[in-house]
Amino acid sequence: MIGIIFGPPGSGKGTQAARIEDAFRLKHLSTGDILRAEVARGTPVGKEVGRIMAAGDLVPDELIVDIVRGRLPEAEAGEGVLLDGFPRTVGQAQALDNMLSDEGHKVDFVVALDVPEAELVDRLLHRAEVEGREDDTRQAIEERMHEYHKLTEAVLDHYRRKGVPVQLVSGVGSPDQVFGRIRRAVGISSA
């Protein structure tokens, strides 16, 4: 089982991914978490992407595709994988499809969280106060929203065209309410 949790910055992807991982026994692969760990460890990749992320821009496709290619086989060894924050461009989606088809796999479902932009900005500014994440400044948030509309939204049409079920789920409400909607939309029984 290969699933994607999709949505604009602040829509609750990370929050819901943790719940989906537990309930459906999928291995959670978050490219944002992987990149932040590289930055924190000061690796060559971290040095390359730190400034890009802080500005709210997307890191280059080749770099992120190489990272996912390196991690996917281990993640796939279990019952399934939940991708969070990837793919974020149509180029990344095509690269993912090729990686999966080499293994005889495909994307089984996409859950797209839908939250009004004003609420997204409020959530991220609140997280800035609590966690102090470098890319949760007003300017970086604006850039992340811009990148989302310019490059990421089109990924949904890519999967619709391929016949992959894309479930649009409202991300407004408590995390438990949102998770209840995801559970119903995806329609897979918990492990």
Closest among 105, 136, 60 to 31, alpha carbons compared: 60
181 binds ligand B4P (CB under 6 A): no
Q: What residues numbered 69-88 form the site for ligand B4P, per CB under 6 A?
A: 85-86, 88
Q: In sequence order, which residues have a C-beta less than 8 Å from that of residue 169 and are 6 or more positions away?
A: 111, 112, 113, 114, 178, 181, 182, 185
Binding mask 23-62 for ligand B4P (x = CB under 6 A): --------xx--x----------------xx--xxxx---
Q: What residues numbered 111-170 form the site for ligand B4P, per CB under 6 A?
A: 123, 127, 135, 144
**Tokens 């992340």 identify what position?**
144
Q: In whole angstroms, how far apart are CA 14 and each of 5, 33, 44? A: 9, 9, 25
Buried b (16+ CB within 10 A) or exposed e, 114-137: ebeeeebbebbeeebeeeeebbbb
14 binds ligand B4P (CB under 6 A): yes
Which residue among 19, 123, 144, 181 is the active-site one? 144
Is 88 considered catalytic here?
yes
Count of residues of this chain found to bind ligand B4P when the rule CB under 6 A is applied: 31
Is 106 considered catalytic here?
no
Is 123 considered catalytic here?
no
Q: Which is nearer to ligand B4P, 2 or 58 (CB)?
A: 58
Interface positions with ligand B4P (CB under 6 A): 7, 9-15, 31-32, 35, 52-53, 56-59, 64, 85-86, 88, 92, 123, 127, 135, 144, 171, 173-175, 178
